């Protein structure tokens, strides 16, 4: 599916030879920035679990520095270690202390998919805030579907209608969604819409919601 045009992604000049850049499908510009990537008002810090295990203090310093520049910080962690349980607990604590969102990936291509999704979600928010807000509100009301899932879905589908018509297999291809969430989403979208009736509101202000 063709992606919508996106604004320029800022990339730390130190990463000009990083293998992630070869997979990027959005325009980017090398800049001297305090994190790895910046798109609009969101910072993206890329790290590997192995590096965090070797130097947890460095991860803490990087996240504190990124958080001091922009409020929205996403940590994209490549899980490249088999013994990852304790390391993930440690990294999760560091992210929580710095008020950052942690996203774990297992391949570089999956990491790029999240970067594309975050860029698309931010770009669409600027051009169609109300529409995206409504879609996010509807999809987030489904138990088990979080905001990152919603952003990935909005990135992969041109319209809410296309999303509703898609099958579970297509939904599961979205980064972070997977087969279980796809099935939950598919079942929720097939259920009838309920109207919240409030005697104090007239019919034009009744709020629809999905049955879950």
Predicted pLDDT of residue 183: 85
Q: Is the pLDDT of residue 150 over 50?
A: yes
Please provide the size of the chain in residues. Answer: 212
pLDDT of residue 126: 53
HEC string of the chain equals CCCCCCCCEEEEHHHCCCHHHHHCCCCEEEECCCCCEEECCEEEEEEEHHHHHHCHHHHHHHHHHHHHHCCEEEEEEECCCCCCHHHHHHHHHHHHHCCCEEEEECCHHHHHHHHHHHHHHHHHHHHCHHHHHHHHHHHHCCCCCCHHHHHHHHHHCCCHHHHHHCCHHHHHCCCCCHHHHHHHHHHHHHCCEEEECCCCCCHHHCEEEECC
Top pLDDT among 114 and 199 is at: 114
Model confidence band, residue 13 (pLDDT cutoffs 50, 70, 90): very high
- Mean pLDDT across 141-159: 77
pTM confidence score? 0.55
Find the mean pLDDT for residues 173-179: 79
Quote the pLDDT of residue 1.
Answer: 37
**Which domains, from first to last, does the chain contain?**
9-108 (3.40.50.10130), 128-210 (1.10.150.20)
Give me the sheet containing 37-39, strands edge to edge.
Answer: 28-31, 9-12, 37-39, 42-48, 72-78, 101-105
pLDDT band at 4 (very low <50, low <70, confident <90, very high): very low
pLDDT tens column, 93-133: 989 888 888 999 999 999 999 898 888 776 655 555 556 67
pLDDT tens for 52-93 read 888 888 888 888 888 877 778 999 999 988 878 888 999 999
């Amino acid at each position: 599916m063709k992606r919508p045009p996106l604004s320029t992604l800022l990339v730390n000049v130190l990463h000009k030879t990083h293998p992630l850049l070869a997979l990027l499908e959005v325009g980017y510009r090398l800049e001297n920035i305090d994190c790895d990537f910046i798109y609009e008002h969101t910072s993206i810090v890329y790290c590997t679990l192995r590096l965090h295990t070797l130097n947890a203090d460095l991860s803490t310093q990087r996240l504190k520095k990124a958080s001091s520049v922009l409020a929205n910080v996403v940590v994209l962690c490549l899980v490249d270690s088999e013994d990852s349980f304790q390391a993930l607990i440690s990294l999760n604590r560091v992210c929580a202390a710095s008020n950052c969102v942690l996203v774990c990936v297992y391949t570089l291509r999956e990491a790029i998919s999240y970067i594309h999704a975050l860029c698309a979600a931010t770009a669409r928010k600027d051009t169609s805030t109300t529409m995206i807000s409504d879609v996010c509100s509807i999809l987030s009301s489904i138990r088990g579907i979080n905001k990152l899932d919603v952003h990935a879905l909005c990135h992969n589908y041109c319209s809410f209608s296309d999303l509703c018509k898609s099958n579970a297999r297509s939904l599961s291809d979205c980064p972070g969604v997977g087969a279980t969430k796809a099935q939950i989403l598919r079942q929720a979208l097939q259920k009838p819409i309920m109207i919240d009736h409030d005697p104090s509101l007239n019919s034009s202000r009744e709020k629809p919601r999905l049955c879950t």
